[in-house]
Amino acid sequence: MNTADADDRLPELELSDEDILDAMQRIPGYLDITTEDFRAIYHVAHAHALTRLFGGIRAAGLMRHDIEPLTPAMSLAAAARGMMRQGCKALPVADADGRVIGMLTETDYLRWLGTDSLLALLLPADAGRAGDPAAALQAGTVGAAMTAPAVSVDLDAGVGAILAAFHRHPGHHMPVVDAAGHIRGLLSRKQFLAACPLSELDC
């Protein structure tokens, strides 16, 4: 799912007349301004502040570039080795043309192995875990276990589009693609949050 056409604006808190009148009463002196004038100033100032804080943030500048995507025919064991080699807990899956068709994550591995905890895999088989995980990973394929379709963002996606995309899926990583859907990089929540000047929001 591509966010090329997603609205990149951040949400704005809508002020009611009561909010505005209360604010105006707290400002010393006489204000010759209507609630509509106040609201118009607020909208312009809000847009200016967001542009100043977040306008330079783009997916292309935050993503990791050196990503080797997985292919659907790969065994899950081979995919795991690829993920460890690249230092990733999730990787995009691409077709023969390099277009993203899914994501393979640690959660997908757990689902494939029939457990919801990595710790459970450490227990002996007679403690409730059936089967051999190594054999299951060798027999399974990326295409069978991956989450599809993948939620992705375009290279020029800004803060609003990136936030919206991360809200649409529970994962911590997201493919960055070009206009044709070809993989160009991988963006993590950690990278994104580190780039946002949250300290200036006084959160």
The pLDDT of residue 80:
96
Mean pLDDT of the chain: 86
SS3 letters across the chain: CCCCCCCCCCCCCCCCHHHHHHHHHHCCCCCCCCHHHHHHHHHHHHHHHHHHHHCCCCHHHHCECCCCCECCCCEHHHHHHHHHHHCCCEEEEECCCCEEEEEEEHHHHHHHHCCCCCHHHHCCHHHCCCCCHHHHHHHCEHHHHCECCCCCEECCCCHHHHHHHHHCCCCCEEEEECCCCEEEEEEEHHHHHHHCCHHHHCC
- The percent of residues above 70 in pLDDT, for the chain, comes to 85
Rounded to 5°, the CA angle 166-147-105 comes to 75
Q: Which residue has the tokens 């993203």?
A: 100
The pLDDT of residue 6:
41
Region(s) of the chain under CATH 3.10.580.10: 59-201
The pLDDT of residue 177:
97
Q: Among residues 157, 156, 154, which one has the least CA distance to residue 183?
A: 154
Q: What global pTM score does this model have?
A: 0.74
- Beta strand 153-154 with 173-177 is parallel
pLDDT tens-digit series, residues 19-75: 888 888 888 888 888 989 988 888 888 778 777 777 788 999 999 999 999 999 999
Torsion of CA 68, 71, 75, 77, to 10 degrees: 20
Residue 101 corresponds to which tokens in the numbers above? 């068709």
Other beta carbons within 10 Å of 86: 14
Reported residue count of the chain is 203
Residue 116 pLDDT > 70, yes or no?
A: yes
**20 and 34 in contact (C-beta within 8 Å)?**
no
Mean predicted confidence (pLDDT) in 181-198: 90
Question: Is the domain 59-201 a CATH 3.10.580.10 member?
Answer: yes
From 98-107, 164-173, 182-191, the region with the lowest mean pLDDT: 164-173
